[in-house]
Copies of this chain bind each other. A is one copy, B any other.
Amino acid sequence: MISVTREPIDTATLDKNAVDPACGAVLTFSGTVRNSHHHHLVKMLSYEAYEPMAQRELEKVVAECKRRWPDLRKVQVVHRFGKMDVTESSVYITVSSPHRGDAFVGLRYIIDNIKKDVPLWKKEFYENGESEWLHPEDGCSPDHLTLREDVNV
């Protein structure tokens, strides 16, 4: 399951599907909406998605992760968009592996690259009535300004 969706994330089903008899380690990452950001009190979030491209980029991130760590047996990623409240999951990732080392680095790779390359944008709505789009300056991967073939991987 690799998906970009407006629906709340069904984490229980993802957890269930992450189990694999060949795996000794299942790691999950839940990105949850925090109640504060840079000392602003956050009331609510909204994510905008360039939906078809976000789906494709998410699939690319997972494919590259599996290429780098071929021992990973299962990887699932669901990223939600639209409005969500504090403590709700905006992204949920599971990684299942025979051994824990691969699961740790693979999971880290996925969340780090989602934050670089998957076209989703967060707008925070603060308790004081203000709101702001987040465009982190370190959030883009300049590699993507060049063709994949040009890059020495």
Contacts and interface: CB of A to CB of B under 8 A. Distances in A.
Interface of A: 11-12, 15, 19-36, 86-87, 98, 100, 104, 107-108, 111
14 contacts: A12-B12, A21-B34, A23-B32, A24-B32, A24-B33, A24-B34, A25-B29, A25-B31, A27-B27, A27-B30, A27-B107, A34-B98, A104-B107, A104-B108
Contacts of A36: 22
Contacts of A15: 11, 15
Given A100-B111, A108-B104, A30 B25 contact: yes
A32 B26 contact: yes
Nearest to A90: B24
A40 to B, nearest CB: 13
Among A32, A86, A111, residue most surrounded by chain B Cβ atoms (within 10 Å): A32
A107 B101 CA distance: 12
A104 B27 CA distance: 10
Contacts of A87: 19-21
Interface-central residue, A19, A21, A30, by most chain B CB under 10 Å = A30
Nearest to A30: B26
